[in-house]
Amino acid sequence: MPQSPINWKNAPLIRLIIPMITGILIGIYSHLQNSIWLFLFLISFGILSSLLILSKKRPSIRKEFIFGMCSQLTFLLLGINLIIFKTAENQASHYQKFISDNHNEYIIEVTEIPKEKENSYQIIGEVTSVKTDSTKWSPTSGEVLLYFKKDGQSEQILQGDKLIINCNFQEIQPPQNPDQFNYKQYLSFNQIYQQAFVETNNWTLLSSGHFSLIGYASHIRDQLLQTLKTHGLSGDELAVASALILGYKDDLDNELKHSYSSAGATHVLAVSGLHVGIIFIAISFILGVFDKREKLTFTRLFIVLLVLWFYATITGLSPSVVRAATMFSFVAIGKAFQRDSNIYNTLAGSALVLLIYNPYLIMEVGFQLSYLAVLGIVYFQTIIYKRIYVKNKILDYIWSITSVSIAAQLTTFPLGLLYFHQFPTYFFISNLVVIPAAMIIIALGIGLFITSWIPIIAGALGFLLSNVIFGMNWVVRSIDQLPVSLIEGISITILECWIIYCMIIFIGLARETHRLKYLNVSLVLFSTLLILDHTEDISHSSTREIVIYSIKDEPNINFINGNSNLIVCSNQLFKDQSSMLFNIQHHWFDLDLDTPSHYVLEDSIATPHLLGKNGYYQFEDLSIYHFSEQEFPSTLEKVDILYISSSKYVSIHDILEIVDPKTIVLSNGCHWKYNKEVEILFVDNPNSYHDVKKQGAYVKSF
């Protein structure tokens, strides 16, 4: 393991990657488009180039302030320009600039492998041409998200196929519920801004796909998956083997993923540095044993790089595996040129290359966690490991793995709290099992693939592989069942996340420099964190809120009073962990709410702040009547909110003769006539109604 202190002189790329990332973030959040930024970059780059030329005659110039400032400014401007040029909708050829109301025909090239959904096939395609009049096609660029109705014809679509489609593109919907995952933003970071549903009769195949390296790699992965099935793997064992060895996660069910998440072992299911590192060490060892001649150094380098990137390709080229493959490529190249590379410089170099290729990778959670985990291991593992001396070799091995887990967790837990609102309590226990098991599983898997043509050996390896995975799954599930295995509902803001990371950085600086002032800064930051948390608690304690979430065919009302939390919804929805987490729970986490009290729609409710019976609710000073499937009452007290989720239709005019609500809220599962009638009735007063299907969740704060 590399020594932890950072030698800044041997890691110049760190000083360049920081301003470049800053420039990328400025470009993303400022939406800059003006060509002035390219002009400024060229000027700065020209000055820097001149200084570099002058430094050959006067090396001391590299130590002067102007050289450092110009270097930092050049890479800051480089980051800004990378975003401007990478943002698809900034391009003059982007298809959105050619769309007209009169024509909606497009030529699409399928750029990724189609994904099967419940009722459709999800396809990402490049819009290569747009029909601008009855005969003319204009060449364009830009990707779009398409859903093809599932049938025998659409299941034949392959990556690389060119299709003519006739449909209307629509903007990606923003989050429909408070604090919900922003899928629109996620797709925009991937340069996708619109989507469409394509009916069976509205598309034709123009030409079949040409050869694609990624498509070929996918075909090989499918064959390897079949090899796993053929040699005795099935069920959860097959699902874990497919994910861990080949990066194929479609067979993992929610229960198994939750168990790995609760145990703090999710990382082994995503092909990353651990997996690529094993491949790198194995291939380097094999090539070194068989041939050590110096004249074949670059041949060995070529083979190592080929194997690394072939493995990265067949496992899906996720940010974590691309990062790992790039980093180990840098290591391999350094060894070939007989240069001992600084690990921090290698990490910065790999990030630099990847971000120049795609600056939006910086917004990928996997990319962030991947680099932070490696930085944590490289810097903190040695420090943590040396704190405890263990004489026994077995116990020392256990402590070594534990120190790796703690080091990685130290630099990733703030992001885990920010994005996932949870912390796996027993991560250090699970990693004692899953890390060695992952190494064995990868070795057995590769052995199985190599010997698949020898039935006896392949059968034995398949048996061993299945049982090792079975044992690992059993351990993970057992840890998941332990008390308080997962602390959920932790919510921190982006500011608080940055404060935690600054604390970690200043603690590291205190250790590096032995200066007490850095430790004092970290204590001030910790105090600031406590003050912010206390301020949020005070703010949340005064929250009074009614929320009707946008969930298809699931009527619901959420009553929030301070930290108390009561939700009225069906048992089916409340027990659906996936739907609750996606649509509702992130809002609860953000408000630091207590465990919710659950009532079904038919229940009577009597709490200090809420009374409810037969669809009528009195919450503090606010009254609600929920019209679902019951008959509308002939008499009804005046209510503030009329919430309609009924699939039965009763004329709005008849309803308004009985009750005069201040606001009408329509669920996204009510009879379609309600939406149409209310829209016409309140055309001059649109604030008097809220259509959850069109406008998203209804939130009433008071």
pLDDT in tens, 140-177: 999 999 999 988 888 889 888 999 999 999 999 999 99
Q: What per-residue confidence (pLDDT) applies to 6?
A: 62
Q: Are 497 and 529 in contact (CB under 8 A)?
A: no
- Pick the range with the lowest mean pLDDT from 111-120, 188-197, 231-240, 266-275: 266-275
Q: What per-residue confidence (pLDDT) applies to 192?
A: 95
- pLDDT(616) > 60: yes
Q: 251: phi > 0 → left, psi -120 to 50 → alpha, else beta; which? A: alpha
How far is it, in rounded angstroms, from Cα 62 to Cα 69? 11
Q: pLDDT of 40-60, one tens digit each?
A: 999 999 999 998 888 888 877
- Is the residue at 315 inside a domain? no
Residue 504 and residue 573 share a domain = no
**pLDDT confidence band for 469 (50 / 70 / 90):** very high
- Is the residue at 324 inside a domain? no
Q: Which of 165, 182, 210 is the last residue of a domain?
A: 210
Of the candidates 643, 696, 644, 695, the one whose C-alpha atom is nearest the C-alpha of residue 672 is 644
**Which residue's entry shows tokens 């992130």?**
586
**Which residue's entry shows tokens 């040029």?**
85
Q: pLDDT of 644-687, one tens digit each?
A: 998 888 888 888 888 888 899 999 888 888 888 888 888 777 77
**pLDDT confidence band for 295 (50 / 70 / 90):** low
DSSP bridge pairs for 96: none
Residues of the domain holding 458: 216-264+448-490
Residue 689 and residue 606 share a domain = yes
Residue 576 and residue 679 share a domain = yes
Q: Are 147 and 118 in contact (CB under 8 A)?
A: no
Residue 689 and residue 549 share a domain = yes
Helix axes 12-30, 343-357, angle to 10 degrees: 30
Task: Write phi, then psi, for 466 (nearest 5 degrees).
Answer: -60, -40
Residue 79 and residue 102 share a domain = no
Q: What per-residue confidence (pLDDT) applies to 252?
A: 87
- Strands annotated E in 413-505: 422-424, 486-488
Structurally, the chain folds into a number of domains equal to 5
Residue 165 and residue 116 share a domain = yes
Residue 612 and residue 521 share a domain = no
**pLDDT confidence band for 2 (50 / 70 / 90):** very low
DSSP bridge pairs for 666: 644, 691
What does the pLDDT average to over 190-194?
95
What does the pLDDT average to over 187-206?
93
Q: pLDDT of 498-526, one tens digit each?
A: 999 999 999 988 888 888 899 999 999 99
Question: Which amino acid is residue 275, in one-letter code?
Answer: H
How far is it, in rounded angstroms, from Cα 652 to Cα 53? 79
Q: What per-residue confidence (pLDDT) applies to 11?
A: 76
Of the candidates 137, 148, 127, 249, the one whose C-alpha atom is nearest the C-alpha of residue 192 is 127
Q: pLDDT of 581-611, one tens digit each?
A: 999 999 999 999 988 999 998 889 999 999 9
- pLDDT(632) > 80: no
Q: pLDDT of 530-583, one tens digit each?
A: 999 999 989 888 899 999 999 988 999 999 999 999 999 999 999 998 899 999
Q: What per-residue confidence (pLDDT) applies to 1?
A: 41
Of the candidates 397, 548, 432, 423, the one whose C-alpha atom is nearest the C-alpha of residue 489 is 423
- Hey, CA dihedral for 469, 472, 474, 480, is it positive or negative? negative
Burial of 325 (C-beta count, 10 Å sphere; 0-12/13-18/19+): buried
Q: Which of 86, 104, 122 is the last residue of a domain?
A: 86
Q: pLDDT of 310-363, one tens digit each?
A: 888 888 787 778 888 888 888 888 777 766 678 888 888 889 999 999 999 999
> DSSP 3-state assignment of 121?
strand
Q: Which residue has the higher pLDDT, 605 or 273?
A: 605
- Pick the range with the lowest mean pLDDT from 7-16, 362-371, 504-513: 7-16
Q: Are 268 and 274 in contact (CB under 8 A)?
A: yes
- Is the residue at 382 inside a domain? no
What does the pLDDT average to over 215-228?
87
**What is the pLDDT of the chain when averaged over all its residues?**
88
- pLDDT(268) > 50: yes
What does the pLDDT average to over 244-253?
87
- Is the residue at 229 inside a domain? yes
Residue 183 and residue 43 share a domain = no
- Is the residue at 370 inside a domain? no
- Is the residue at 101 inside a domain? yes
Top mean pLDDT of 124-138, 188-202, 377-391 is at 188-202
Q: What per-residue confidence (pLDDT) applies to 104?
A: 84
- Is the residue at 670 inside a domain? yes
Q: Which residue has the higher pLDDT, 599 or 219?
A: 599
What does the pLDDT average to over 430-435?
90
Residue 74 and residue 32 share a domain = yes
Q: Which of 146, 180, 210 is the last residue of a domain?
A: 210
Q: What per-residue confidence (pLDDT) applies to 7?
A: 64
Residue 80 and residue 99 share a domain = no
CATH number for the domain that contains residue 121: 2.40.50
How far is it, in rounded angstroms, from Cα 510 to Cα 104? 62
Q: What per-residue confidence (pLDDT) applies to 4?
A: 45
Residue 696 and residue 556 share a domain = yes
Residue 558 and residue 526 share a domain = no
- Is the residue at 65 inside a domain? yes
